[in-house]
Structure 1
């Protein structure tokens, strides 16, 4: 059974090891973090800027074997009704085994039941098909934008797809 808990600084040592190359790093952080390879200290320093925020939540997924995944949740509106997931990652040795879907479902329960969000959104690059299909399997739906968001990463233009999950009442 997979659980979800607040992130601890010691989790960073594991998380950064799951990022095997710069392309994977850029897909994961969407250039929010600049330096590759990332260190545990870099990740903790980045999160430190949100230490006193009541709108930013770093979360870690775990099971009986240890930590298995990580993501952040942040409010994107002043009314605190809409959350955005980001930095979604699963232990690379566990990918393709349902851990991502299970972690996302646990995070959605947390978002709706604990944080009282009404909608959760996320973005995924078109060139990250495994992540896209994981999000769809967890229940996220495509949002069709008139003007897609494009990031210039590694001398290429990457289209970002928008997805959402609206609380069912």
Structure 2
């Protein structure tokens, strides 16, 4: 597996990995105001974020250059030492193969070596146990503080996680 910069054509593939609105909200929380979205929605959102700088969408590809995962990295501080992982997703037909942990390891290397990160952060809904297990296996630890999102009339608690890399 390798990481490469997101290409607009990856958006169509990412959408196919999302099998339900519940999975969609676990992936993006409230970052999109409608479901379903199409590839143009992702491309537009990433273009808007990219214009502000400090935003790095990446796609994980297998040995045949087929996308198997995706995530974004972005700075969260003016010193550019903290990088947040977001929009983390693995091909739904390839989950439970260890691809998520491997992709997170590659993203960690990217964040440290190319972006100068000292700390990595992310948020995960506490109800998304497979993702929480993956992040923990990749070395992330629970941090203090949580947010709550209202999804489908339910209160979804976000667990904030971090990993010190320097």
TM-score, normalised to structure 1's length?
A: 0.95
SS at match of 2:26: helix
Q: Does residue 1:33 correspond to 2:29, yes or no?
A: no
Moved more, 102-111 or 46-55: 46-55
Matched position secondary structure for 2:122 = strand
Residue aligning to 2:16: 17
CA deviation profile, 1:103-162 (whole Å, cap 9, x unmatched)? 0000000001110010000000011000000000111111133xx311111111000001
CA distance in 1, matches of 2:110, 2:51: 20
Following the alignment from structure 2 to structure 1, what is the Cα–Cα distance between the partners of residues 62 and 158?
31
- Where does structure 1 differ by over 4 angstroms across 4 or more consecutive aligned residues? none
Question: Following the alignment from structure 1 to structure 2, what is the Cα–Cα distance between the partners of residues 102 and 53?
Answer: 29
5 Å matches for 1:124-163? 124-145=124-145, 148-163=146-161
Stretches of structure 2 that go unaligned for 5 or more consecutive residues are none
- Give the deviation of 1:89 after TM superposition: 0.1
Q: Report how many residues are paired.
A: 165
The worse-fitting range, judged by mean Cα deviation, of 97-106 and 57-66 is 57-66
1:45 shift after superposition:
1.0
1:48-87 map, 5 Å: 48-65=47-64, 66-87=66-87
Structure 2 Cα separation of the partners of residues 149 and 37 of structure 1: 24
Q: Deviations over 1:79-99 (max 9, x none)?
A: 100010000000001100000
Contact 2:60 2:69 in 1 (8 A): yes
Deviation at 1:54, TM superposition (A): 2.8
- Provide the C-alpha distance between the structure 2 equivalents of 1:43 and 1:59, rounded to a whole number of angstroms: 13
TM-score by length of 2: 0.96
- Superposed CA offset, 1:47-78 (max 9, x none): 11023333111000001240100000110000
Q: Is the 8 A contact 2:50 2:56 kept in 1?
A: no
Unmatched tracts of structure 1, length 5 or more: none
Deviation of the 1:38 alpha carbon: 1.4
